[in-house]
Amino acid sequence: MSLTAEGATLTYGRHHRLRRTSALRRLVAETRLAPAALVLPVFVDARIDAPSPISSLPGHARWPVARVAEVGERAARAGVGGLLLFGLPQEKDDRGENAADPLGPVPAALRALRARFPELALIADVCLCEYTTHGHCGVLRGDEIDNDATLPLLADASLAYARAGADIVAPSDMMDGRVAAIRAALDGADFAETAILAYAAKFASAFYGPFREAADCAPSFGDRSAYQMDPPNAREALAEITSDIDEGADAVMVKPAGPYLDVLARARERFDLPLAAYQVSGEYAALHAAADRGWLDLRRAALESLTGIARAGADVIVTYFALDAAAWLAER
């Protein structure tokens, strides 16, 4: 394109041409969000018999096992790809033994959902923090996490979830070697077909705040920086992902999503396995809080944040917006 203005010839492209109408914009969109790629986190609480709203996660509740099928129903109807289950046990102990209780909230919910919703991928989060009295993600020796002593407990929990019908177990504890330990336990018990989605690059993040209220798993002392990743490190994240793939992960996750889009993009370039991203509780709560004040439009901001995560390279997005986003996408 050229034109003459005051004697000068300007040459430039007309990038606007394909932005002119919503039909054109939709036609040339490089990234498309689909409900099938979204995973809804669900909290199952063994101590309650009615849903208990989570104030810091508007629209979300802890669910009793007896009513978790209602969430499954909503997710299936919305066309969401799967559920990620977290459990709040009846009792905690210092070793988190109840994570592996076959009658615990997650196995019970899996059995209830497995029978009714074949269209949903059922993913069980594997971690001890909801099950330990101290709220850390593994067993302690003194005040420090005992990595190797934690591995068999994570393997036992994974096996309990596989037996109850989980398609995928998703370790979020960040112990070294847990993918290998879980894979060996599953294979040894004839669950070679149960997949592992490793929270491979999970950062020690301030954005987990609301989750810790929801799952009652805030550490009673210290923080998780000695085992979760340090926010400045992206190359190290690739090393973590490489380890988990070498140990047998079928898919890998970056978490949180929004502040770590560079890690996602680099992981997408380097690895060919399915890549998941977790838009965590604080990312969701922050958008809601701002929208409540009239500072941004929730729907547009939520869809834009999810689009950014998909554009960076996530195949699967775990998000508290899963049901809302599926509904918004169906309207577009």
Cβ 130 to ligand PBG, closest distance in Å?
A: 6
Helix axes 105-116, 147-163, angle to 10 degrees: 30
Among positions 203, 211, 227, 328, the unique one binding ligand PBG when judged by CB under 6 A: 211
* Active site annotation includes 255: yes
* Active site annotation includes 92: no
* From 95, 202, 224, 266, the catalytic residue: 202
Residue whose structure tokens are 């909503």: 74
List of residues 6+ apart from 121 with CB closer than 8 A: 39, 81, 82, 83, 167, 168
* From 134, 136, 255, 266, the catalytic residue: 255
Distance CA 119, CA 78 (A): 11
Interface pattern 255-284 for ligand PBG (x via CB under 6 A): -------------------------xx---
DSSP per-residue codes, 62-114 = EE-GGGHHHHHHHHHHHT--EEEEEEE-S--BTT-GGGG-TTSHHHHHHHHHH
Nearer Cβ to ligand PBG (208/328): 208
Among positions 45, 97, 125, 240, the unique one binding ligand PBG when judged by CB under 6 A: 125
Cβ 125 to ligand PBG, closest distance in Å?
A: 6
Window contacting ligand PBG (CB under 6 A); options: 9-17, 18-26, 122-130, 141-149: 122-130
Give the helix ranges, DSSP H, for the chain.
22-27, 68-78, 105-116, 147-163, 178-188, 209-214, 235-247, 261-270, 281-292, 298-312, 322-331
Answer yes or no whether residue 112 interacts with ligand PBG by CB under 6 A. Answer: no
Cβ 119 to ligand PBG, closest distance in Å?
A: 24
Cβ 148 to ligand PBG, closest distance in Å?
A: 19
Q: Which of residues 155-184 bind ligand PBG (CB under 6 A)?
A: 172
Q: What are the catalytic residues?
A: 202, 255
Which positions touch ligand PBG (CB under 6 A)?
125, 127, 129, 137, 172, 208, 211-212, 224, 280-281
